[in-house]
Amino acid sequence: MSHTVVIYAHPYPDRSRANRVLFDAVKSLPNVDARPICDLYPDFAIDVEAEQAALLRADLIVWQHPIYWYTVPAMLKLWWEKVLTHGWAYGDGARVLSGKRCLWVTTTGGDASAYDEGGMHAHPFSVYEPVVRQTARFCHMHWLEPLIIHGAHRMNDEQRAAYATLYRERLGAR
Ligand SMILES: Cc1cc2nc3c(=O)[nH]c(=O)nc-3n(C[C@H](O)[C@H](O)[C@H](O)COP(=O)(O)O)c2cc1C
C-alpha cells in the first residue's frame, strides 16, 4: 500500500459539511499522514521543513480543499509558495517529487450545471483546473484523475458518505 500525505486546507473546518466528512474518512487510515494545514498553522507560520519531510515520505500527495474564488484557498496557495521551493521541488535539476502521484480532491458550492457554458460560473470547471494541475506537473509529479465534487451545498448524508467511500478507495483503502 502506498504512503499518502493529505494536505487538507479548509479555512473554516468547523463549518465544513462536505470536506469534513471526506477528511474524516481518510485521516486515520494506516498509510495516511493527514495534515490539516489551517489547524496546524493558524498563524500562517508553515513549518517548511516538516512539510517537505512529509512530502519526501509519501508516494501519493493529496491536495484537498473547497474551491474558493475558482481556485485553492489562500492557505494552500501559501503552502505551495513556501513548501514547493526552487531547487527543491523545481528548477536546477531538483527532482525530489519526481514520479510521486498527485491527487486533487476538491468540492464546489455550484452544482455541475453552474459550470456549464452560460451557467452561473460562465465557464466549464475544466477552465479552472490547469493552475492546480500545472503546479503538480511543474514539480515533476504525476497527475492523477482528480476527484471533483460539485454541488457540495446540496449534498445529503448519503451522497457525502458515498463520496467518502470513493475517496478512501482512491487512497487504496479496502
Ligand atoms: C470565500 C468563498 C469562496 C467560494 N468560491 C466558490 C467558487 O468560486 N466556486 C464554487 O463553486 N463555490 C465557491 N464557494 C463555495 C464552496 O466551494 C463550498 O462552500 C464548499 O465547497 C463546501 O464544502 P465544505 O462543506 O467542506 O465547506 C466559495 C465559498 C467561500 C466561503
| Tally of domains within the chain | 1
Range(s) of the domain holding residue 109: 4-170
State the distance from the centre of ligand 1 to the C-alpha of 55, rounded, in angstroms: 27
pLDDT tens digits for 139-159? 999 999 999 999 999 999 999
Residue 118 predicted with pLDDT over 90: no
Amino acid 117: pLDDT = 86
Tens-place pLDDT, residues 74-102: 999 999 999 999 999 999 899 999 999 99
Of the candidate ranges 10-14, 48-52, 116-120, the one whose mean pLDDT is the lowest: 116-120
Q: Of all residues in the chain, what percent carry a pLDDT higher than 90?
A: 95
- pLDDT reading at 70 higher than 80: yes
Is the C-beta atom of 69 inside 6 A of ligand 1? Answer: yes
Burial (CB < 10 A; 0-12, 13-18, 19+), residue 104, is buried
**Given ligand 1 and candidates 23, 108, 126, 129, which is best to mutate, with the most ligand atoms within 8 Å of its CB?**
108
Q: Is residue 174 predicted with pLDDT exceeding 70? A: no
DSSP per position, 67-129: -BTTB--HHHHHHHHHHS-BTTTBSTT--TTTT-EEEEEEE-SS-GGGGSTTSTTSS-GGGGS
pTM of the model: 0.98
pLDDT band at 1 (very low <50, low <70, confident <90, very high): low
Cβ(43) to ligand 1 under 6 A?
no
Ligand 1 probe mutation, 8, 68, 77, 159, most atoms within 8 A of CB? 68
pLDDT of residue 7: 99
Could you tell me the CATH number of the domain that includes residue 72?
3.40.50.360
Q: 60: CA distance to ligand 1 center in Å?
A: 25
| Mean pLDDT across the chain | 96
Q: Report which ligand 1 atom has the smallest distance to the Cα of 149.
A: 21
Q: Give the H or E element holding residue 24.
A: helix 18-26
